[in-house]
């Protein structure tokens, strides 16, 4: 979730000696009050470290590796697997690829040529977890981080994953440790060591069967989510009609 304020202050002193907190927040685009609050509470958000690293042109992964919780981040850097890459292609991009591959004459755009939607997509976290799934992953996470399973699934439903959980998940699954930070949007793909157009290459390499099966699964999940929203809205309407 965060790094200790004390370690953060030491780090900040080493990267930007003599720079005031006000100047740091101005350069990195973090609200002054936000930064002050994080320092007072003793917990500085990972995104704060990343924003400051960007502002001072430092490698964000290396910067994070300086903190105890993320000591192995830089050494655990691995290129993303094909499954991870494919998981980060949005639903619409998958469908466009299907349409492009099946257009017989006058394709609207040739297969594998269109520019993919920038990461992360709307269900990037759950798709990533599904892609790197190892048996008992969720159970292991909740045990390792003493986190209730429903807490984890609530985060996944909201397409969120706390940085420390994201890194721990990658450790357990044995994939590149920055993957979780990339799919949650904390790091850009470039910062996380994901090669440029790796997703496009993975998509082009994906066979028709796998592509269609994946798209079908994504649409199924989307349908379920939409149905849940509908039911929620119906319940709210009933409450409003009778008690509002």
Partner 1 sequence: MIAVLQWVALGACLFCAAWRVPATLRGRNTGLFWAFVLLSVAVGLSLPEIYLVVDAGLGGRNIANLAIRFALYAIFYILAVKFAAAYRSASSARLIRGPVGISLLALISVATLVLFLLSDLPSTSVGLQSYSNQPSVQAYGLLGRLYPAYAAACLIRPTALAAVSAGAAGRKTAATAAGLICSAFIMVLLLTAMQIAAAAVPLVSQLIALLSYTAIVCMALGLSFTWISLRMEQRRKSQGARAGGQLHGWHDAT
Please give the residue ranges that form the binding site for partner 1 (CB under 8 A): 122-123, 150, 154, 157-159, 222, 225-226, 228-229, 232, 234-236, 238-244
Of 69 and 122, the one with the shorter C-beta distance to partner 1 is: 122
Closest separation in Å from C-beta 220 to partner 1: 12
Closest separation in Å from C-beta 151 to partner 1: 11
Of 22 and 217, the one with the shorter C-beta distance to partner 1 is: 217
Other residues' Cβ atoms within 10 Å of the Cβ of residue 229: 10
E strand intervals along the chain = 2-4, 43-45
Of 20 and 150, the one with the shorter C-beta distance to partner 1 is: 150
Alpha helices in 66-197 (DSSP H): 82-87, 91-102, 124-131, 137-144, 149-157, 163-173, 179-183
Of 13 and 224, the one with the shorter C-beta distance to partner 1 is: 224
Closest separation in Å from C-beta 113 to partner 1: 24
Write out the H or E segment, with its range, that includes residue 20. none
Closest separation in Å from C-beta 214 to partner 1: 16
Residues whose CB is less than 8 angstroms from the CB of residue 130 and which lie 6 or more positions away in sequence, other chains included: 87
Write out the H or E segment, with its range, that includes residue 79. none
Parallel, antiparallel or unpaired: strands 2-4 and 43-45: antiparallel
């Amino acid at each position: 979730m965060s790094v200790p304020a004390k370690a953060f202050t030491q780090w900040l002193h080493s990267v930007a000696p003599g720079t005031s907190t006000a100047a740091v927040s101005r350069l990195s685009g973090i609200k002054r009050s936000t930064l002050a609050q994080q320092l007072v509470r003793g917990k500085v958000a990972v995104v704060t470290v990343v924003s400051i690293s960007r502002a001072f042109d430092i490698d964000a992964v290396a910067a994070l590796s300086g903190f105890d919780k993320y000591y192995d981040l830089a050494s655990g850097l691995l290129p993303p697997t094909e499954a991870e890459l494919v998981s980060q292609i949005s639903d619409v991009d998958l469908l466009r690829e299907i349409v492009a591959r099946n257009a017989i004459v006058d394709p609207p755009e040739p297969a594998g040529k269109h520019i993919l939607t920038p990461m992360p997509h709307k269900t990037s976290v759950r798709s990533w977890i599904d892609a790197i799934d190892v048996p008992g992953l969720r159970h292991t996470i909740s045990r390792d981080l003493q986190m209730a399973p429903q807490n984890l699934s609530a985060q996944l439903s909201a397409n969120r994953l706390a940085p420390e959980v994201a890194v721990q998940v990658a450790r357990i699954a044995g994939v590149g440790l920055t993957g979780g930070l990339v799919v949650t949007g904390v790091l850009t793909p470039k910062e996380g060591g994901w090669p440029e157009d790796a997703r496009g290459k993975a998509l082009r390499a994906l066979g028709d069967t796998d592509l269609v099966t994946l798209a079908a699964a994504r649409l199924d999940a989307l349908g379920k989510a939409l149905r849940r929203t509908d039911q929620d809205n119906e319940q709210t309407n009933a409450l409003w009609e009778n008690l509002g």
